[in-house]
């Protein structure tokens, strides 16, 4: 019964991660509160599902034609992948030497800030930019490096913050921003899984089970989002719901 609950939670998390982010709030809760894994093992085991989710979602977006972009956008995507991955390597290292208590307070307060950003002038999230705006190196390098550190450090909430930067600063349409997010997270999570596995912090039986759930949820959602004309609107609404739920969970009395 517990494993069925874990699989269903992973299925839902895969869908949420693909369209917005913070699906790890579900999977980490299942791993720690339901299955009783230690925090460090839960953090490492969770990355197996995130990796499976990323691979499946990338395949769904690819088959939906979302990887067909201009040469300028492709250069931007390559830059974002490299910078974020370098930051994630540092973030994984920090996660191995830091207690959970340190980043829990930071995370929940950042969620409140993020909710405010999303709710102010919501039309900014739904506009499809006319033409392309080249990324500014002096702004993009520190921003995406910091995002990488955060993603490598805890992963939970990474998608929300990444989408905010991609949509509001890099001026990407929200579904295309999700494509880049999925690609970036998949690449650096592959490295993270290797590091956690080397340290013996992965429960492979549970991790692979939840990875299967997240892969199914991610693939089906990405296939739908790549083709549906109102996917951007649904993504924005889901983003709001996910953040409010995460805030409620973060501030709920222990």
The three-point CA angle 167-170-174 to 5° equals: 25
Q: Give the chain's mean pLDDT.
A: 79
pLDDT in tens, the chain (254 residues): 778 888 888 888 877 777 666 677 778 878 887 788 887 888 899 999 889 888 888 888 887 777 766 676 778 778 888 999 999 999 988 888 877 676 567 666 776 776 776 676 666 555 555 555 556 667 778 888 998 998 888 777 787 788 888 877 777 877 788 888 888 889 999 999 999 999 999 999 999 999 999 888 878 877 776 666 666 666 667 767 777 877 777 677 65
pTM: 0.76
Q: For residue 30, which phi and psi values (nearest 5 degrees)?
A: -60, -45
Would you call 97 exposed, middle or buried from its count of C-beta atoms within 10 A (0-12, 13-18, 19+)?
exposed
What are phi and psi for residue 192, nearest 5 degrees? Answer: -65, -40
C-alpha–C-alpha distance, residues 29 and 112, integer Å: 20
Where exactly are the structural domains of the chain?
A: 2-251
Tally the residues of the chain: 254
């Amino acid at each position: 019964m517990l494993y069925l609950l874990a699989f269903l939670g992973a299925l839902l998390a895969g869908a949420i991660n693909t369209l917005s982010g913070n699906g790890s709030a579900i999977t980490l809760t299942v791993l720690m509160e339901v299955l009783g894994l230690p925090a460090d093992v839960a953090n490492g085991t969770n990355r197996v599902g995130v990796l499976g989710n990323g691979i499946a979602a990338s395949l769904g977006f690819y088959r939906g034609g979302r990887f067909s972009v201009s040469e300028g956008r492709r250069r931007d995507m390559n830059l974002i992948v490299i910078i974020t991955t370098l930051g994630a390597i540092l973030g994984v290292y920090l996660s191995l030497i830091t207690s959970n208590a340190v980043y829990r307070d930071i995370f929940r307060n950042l969620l409140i800030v993020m909710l405010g950003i999303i709710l102010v002038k919501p039309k900014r999230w739904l506009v499809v930019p006319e033409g392309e705006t080249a990324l500014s190196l002096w702004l993009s390098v520190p921003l995406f490096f910091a995002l990488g550190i955060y993603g490598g450090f805890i992963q939970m909430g990474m998608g929300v913050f990444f989408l905010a930067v991609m949509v509001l600063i890099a001026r990407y349409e929200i579904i295309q921003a999700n494509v880049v997010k999925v690609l970036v997270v998949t690449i650096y999570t592959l490295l993270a899984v290797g590091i956690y596995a080397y340290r013996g912090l992965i429960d492979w039986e549970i991790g692979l089970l939840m990875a299967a759930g997240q892969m199914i949820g991610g693939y089906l959602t990405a296939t739908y989002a790549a083709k549906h004309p109102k996917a951007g609107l649904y993504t924005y609404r889901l983003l709001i719901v996910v953040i409010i739920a995460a805030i409620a969970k973060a501030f709920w009395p222990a």
